[in-house]
A and B are shown apart, each in its own frame.
Chain A
Amino acid sequence: MNEIATVRDVVAIVLVLAGAFLCLTAGLGLLRFHDVLTRMHAGTKPQVLGILLIMVAGAIRLQGWSAIWMLLLVAAFQMLTAPVSAHMISRVAYRRRHVRRDLLLVDEIRSGESVDRVYRGDEPADAPPEQPAASLRASRREDQAPSGGSPRAGE
């Protein structure tokens, strides 16, 4: 019985350390990566695997079912909500042209031929465009040109 307890403790400690290490690399990646989309990859990492590992460690160490059920609930919430917020943020990031296009190998949303004249450069996402209506019309025209006008998928 005692040995089993120590094995469980060692497993829990390893899981905790691995999860904490993933959180550290998330901070590092957030600092080192170039644009919002790549930083988003660094951000989803602790949110999914790191917190999952630490939750498993907590479930191993804690006694009493109520805490374990609640940890399970937190893990389920994280796995349900993390993709949604990641998707929403990265979609807005792409639409606001807050992407380092020069670091993209392939961009199949707008593949090459359409000149990016709506927003120039890599403006901060919270800077409003100079002429919102005109730039929106231009971007709609760009959207409709290759495809024959599909409605925007978001709204």
Chain B
Amino acid sequence: MTVEPARSALGHQLRHQLPLLVWLVLVWNLLWGTWSWANLLSGIVVALAVTLLLPLPPVVGGTHLHPVGLVVFLGYFFLDLVRSAALVAWQTIRPGGIGRSAIIRVQLRTDSDLLLTIVAESLTLVPGSVVIDMDRERRTLSIHVLHVRNLEDVERRRAAVLAEEERVVRAFGSADEIAALAHAPGEAPTGTGRRTP
């Protein structure tokens, strides 16, 4: 009687961690370099040991992959990567040196841990912007951006961050989250909006 909830909790945990398990088995096989049943079995054993001995908090929500959105996101991502790497490289070798940088704070619209993580990771991967801090409650990202000349540039970078967020949500988000994109950043539908100062 007391075993049953424990077992279902274990099953629940295992089901939540299934993507992690698959990823660990994949990494194990790639590290061995060759495909064989022995590698698969030992990989499963190692992955189970790792997930049971060193448990992680489960990812709330899960992903909903949209193929078209994913292609758009990846295409823009690699384009951004190449373009801004070339830009930063040019700034390092040009005689004038770099311009001024700025720290901007962007109010995001999505409210999912996973999506926020993907947004922050892809923003940091692109040279020219590094996420410094993240306020989970107010859903703001603080981003250090390189090479801004005036306030118009700042607004352009902010719009670029919001466009990146929209692409991420359209690639990985659920229907609710895509619908939430239509709301303005300040007036969140969940009511956890801004406090009055």
**Is this pair of chains taken from one and the same complex?**
yes
For B, the interface residue count at a CB cutoff of 8 angstroms equals 48
Closest residue of chain B to A26 (Cβ to Cβ) is B92
Select B81's contact among A48, A86, A91, beta carbons within 8 Å: A48
The verdict on B85 contacting chain A, using a C-beta distance below 8 Å, is yes
Interface size class of A (residues with CB under 8 A): 35 or more
Tell which of B101, B126, B138 has the most Cβ of chain A within 10 Å: B101
Q: CB distance B132 to A48 under 8 Å?
A: no
B46-54, B55-63, B117-125, B176-184 - interface stretch: B117-125
Instruction: Tell me, in angstroms, the Cα distance from A34 to B103 when the chains sit together.
Output: 15
Tell me which residues across on chain B come within 8 A of A80, comparing CB atoms: 121
Residues in A neighbouring B154, C-beta threshold 8 A: 105-106
User: B33 to chain A: closest CB distance in Å?
Assistant: 3
A-B contact count (CB 8 A): 139
Q: B127 to chain A: which residues have CB within 8 Å?
A: 41, 44-45, 48-49
A104 to B104, CA, bound (A): 10
| Chain A residues within 8 Å of B191, by CB | none
Q: Does A40 contact B (CB under 8 A)?
A: yes
Q: Which of B92, B102, B122, B125 contacts A105 (CB 8 A)?
A: B102
Question: Is A128 an interface residue when CB atoms closer than 8 A count as contact?
Answer: no
B31 sits at the interface (CB 8 A): yes
Partner of A44, one of B97, B105, B125, B151: B125
A25, B103: Cβ atoms closer than 8 Å: no
Name A's B-contacting residues (CB within 8 A).
Answer: 21-22, 25-26, 28-29, 32-34, 37-38, 40-42, 44-45, 48-49, 66-67, 69-70, 72-73, 79-80, 82-84, 86-87, 90-91, 94, 103-109, 146-148, 150-151, 153-154
Given A41-B88, A44-B127, A109-B103, list of 9 further CB < 8 A pairs? A33-B98, A70-B30, A80-B121, A83-B131, A94-B103, A94-B144, A105-B154, A106-B154, A150-B135
Q: List 24 A-B contacts (CB under 8 A).
A: A28-B92, A33-B98, A38-B146, A41-B88, A41-B128, A44-B124, A48-B85, A48-B125, A69-B33, A70-B30, A70-B31, A73-B31, A83-B124, A83-B131, A84-B121, A90-B131, A90-B132, A104-B103, A105-B149, A106-B154, A108-B142, A146-B197, A147-B197, A151-B137
